[in-house]
Chain A
Amino acid sequence: MAIDHAIETRGWFQSPAREEDWDALYAEQLPRVYNYFRFRVGDGAVAEDLTSATLEKAWRARARFRRDLAGFSTWLLAIARNVAIDHYRARRAHAPLEAAGHVAGGADPADLEERHADWRRLGLLLERLPERDRDLIALKFGAGWTNRAIARAAHLSESNVGTLLHRAIAALRADWEEGGS
C-alpha cells in the first residue's frame, strides 16, 4: 500500500539531528535557486520551470546527498548550474528576459512599476554579459553566495572571483549609465 509509505516518508517524523530536515532546507533554498535562475536566464516561466527541474532532481536524489561532502546549498546550486547548462544547450538562442516578471515590491503601484522597469532593463543588460560572468552574477546576487563559495564551485580563486565580479558589475554599470537597453 502506498499510503503507509506516504505517512512516514522521509523527514516527516524524524528529528533533524538524525536526518536532514528537507522541508526546512526546501523553504530556505527555494528562493536562492529561483533567484539564481532569474539572474541567469530570466524571470517568469523559464526561471520557474528551471527551478522546478532543479528541485525535482534534488528531491529524487536526496538520499544520495552527503553533508560530509558538501553543504546543501552547494549541492543544490551545482544541480541548478547543470540544469542551466542543459537549458542553454537545448535552446542555443534563448528567449530574452520576460518583460513582466514577478517582482516583489511595495504596495505602491508606482514603486512596483519602477521596479519592474529596473528589472526589465537589467535583464537586457545581463543578456549581453559573457556566459561565465552571468553565472557568477547569478550566484552572487541571485543565490546570495559569498565570493568564497563561488570560488569553490567555479574552481577559481577567491580573488579571481572578486575581480571578475567587479568587472562584470562595472560593465553593467557602464551600460546602465549609457542608457543601454
Chain B
Amino acid sequence: MDEKFLESQRTAPRPGFERSLRESLARIEEAESARPALGAGPLLAAAAGLAVLAASFSFPSVRVSAQAMLDLFRVREFSVVQVDDARIQQLRDRKLDPESLLGGKPVVLQEAGKPRVFTTLEAAAAATGLSPERPSVLPRGLALDTVLVNGECRSRVTVNTKPLRDLMDAFDVRDLELPAGLDGGTVEAHVPAVVVERFRSGGVARAALVQCAGPEVTLPPGVDLSRLGEIGLRLLGLPPEDAHRLAGRIDWRSTLVVPVVSSATTFLQVDVNGAKGVYIETSRSGLQGAGDHGPGEAVLWSRNGRVYALMGNIGRLGLVQMAESVH
C-alpha cells in the first residue's frame, strides 16, 4: 500500500455511463436553447420576402442559413444577398419578431414538440420513421456525435399587415405598396421534421448536417410574391433599383434568399453533385447580441425535394466533399 497503489486504483468511467451523460448534457443544451413556442416562424415563410427579412433580424451570419432552412418555401435554389451590418443592427434594435411582423396570432395546428436526441442515425430513424441521409466522407477525423430531430409542425395565421406597413414607413419604403390580398388573408405552413446530424472529432473539428423535406406554405390567392420580395430586399437595405432588378430575377416560389453580413461574409456558388448550392463563409462573429457565433462555413443545397445545410469549421474543401457524399 503506497501512493503508486492508490494511483493505480483510478479507472476510466464506463463507456455506457459516458454516453448517457453526454446525452444528458445534450438534452440540457436543447432545453436551454429551445424557444418557448412554435410561434410564427414557419408562417413567415409564407412570403419569401418576409422570410428574408425575418431571418436577418436574428441571425446575421451563417446562422441565417439554419433559420432559413426552417422557413423554406419549396426551395430549389439559393440566392445570397449581402446586407450591411448597420441595417441589420437597425432591424435588430427594433426587436421585431416574425409573429409581430405578420400581425396575427398564429394558431398552432400541430406542435413540433421538444427536439429529440439520439446517438445513432438508426435509432433516430427507428423512433421517427424518417430516412435521414448521411455523409460517407467525414474529413478531419469527424464522427457522428448526436442526432437531433425536430418534429413536424403546422400552423396558421390571419395576416394583419399594419406592423409591416409601419416598418416600411420607418425605413422610408414609401414607393411600394404591399400586395393586394395579403391583409386579412390566411397563411398556412407545414414544416416536416428536421434532422440535424452533429459530427465531432477528437480535436476541434465540428460539423452539422441539417436536412428536411421541403416545407409547404399556402398563401392567400393572388399575392404578388415578387412585390413582397422586393419590399423585403428594400427593408434589408438594398437600393431601390437593385431591389427591383433582383426581385424580378428571382423565382420567389423556389428560391431561398439568404441574407449575409457583407463585412463578415464571403460566398460563392458551388456544385453539389449537380445541384446548385451556395457556400458561405463567415470570418468573424456576428453582430453584438447575436449570440455566441464564431467563424464558420456552410453549404446549402437542395435535391429531389429535400433541402440541406451542412455547417462546420473544416474548410471549404472538406465541407463540399462532405456535402457531395451525402446520400
A interface vs B, CB < 8 Å? 1-10, 12-16, 18-19, 21, 23-24, 26-27, 30-31, 34-35, 38-39, 48, 51-52, 55-56, 59-60, 102-104, 118-119, 122, 137, 140-142, 144, 169, 172-173, 176-177
Contacts and interface: CB of A to CB of B under 8 A. Distances in A.
7 contacts: A1-B150, A2-B112, A8-B291, A13-B62, A14-B313, A103-B11, A169-B2
Contacts of A177: 1
Given A5-B35, A8-B66, A169-B2, A13 B196 contact: no
Contacts of B225: none
Nearest to A174: B1
A51 B9 CA distance: 17
B204 A4 contact: no
A1 B208 contact: no
Given A1-B150, A3-B66, A19-B294, A13 B11 contact: no
Contacts of B70: 1, 3-4
A177 B12 CA distance: 27
Contact of B11 (A16, A18, A104): A104
B18 A30 contact: yes
B59 A4 contact: yes
Given A13-B294, A55-B25, 9 more contacts: A7-B66, A14-B313, A34-B13, A35-B10, A38-B10, A51-B17, A104-B11, A137-B6, A140-B6
Contacts of A118: 5, 9
Interface of B: 1-3, 5-7, 9-14, 17-18, 21-22, 24-25, 28-30, 32-35, 41, 59, 62-63, 66-67, 69-70, 112, 114-115, 148, 150, 194, 196, 198, 200, 202-204, 206, 208, 210, 285, 291-296, 311-313
Contact of A3 (B1, B21, B194): B194
Given A4-B63, A4-B70, A169 B6 contact: yes
A141 B7 contact: yes
Contact of A59 (B25, B202, B204): B25
A3 B30 CA distance: 8
Contacts of A142: 10
A141 B3 contact: yes
A39 B296 CA distance: 42
A34 B20 CA distance: 14
A3 B150 contact: yes
A13 B206 contact: yes
A149 to B, nearest CB: 16
A55 B21 contact: yes
A56 B24 CA distance: 8
B34 A119 contact: no
A10 B14 contact: no
Nearest to B41: A1
B33 A5 contact: yes
Contact of A8 (B10, B21, B293): B293
B2 A7 contact: no
A3 B204 contact: no
A14 B292 contact: yes
Nearest to A18: B294
B34 A2 contact: yes
A92 B90 CA distance: 58
B67 A13 contact: no
Contacts of B285: 18
B311 A7 contact: yes
B198 to A, nearest CB: 7
A38 B296 contact: no
A30 to B, nearest CB: 6
B198 A8 contact: no
B312 A48 contact: no
A141 to B, nearest CB: 4
A176 B21 CA distance: 35
A77 B67 CA distance: 38
Which of B13, B67, B194 has most chain A Cβ within 10 Å?
A: B13
A141 B6 contact: yes
A8 B311 contact: yes
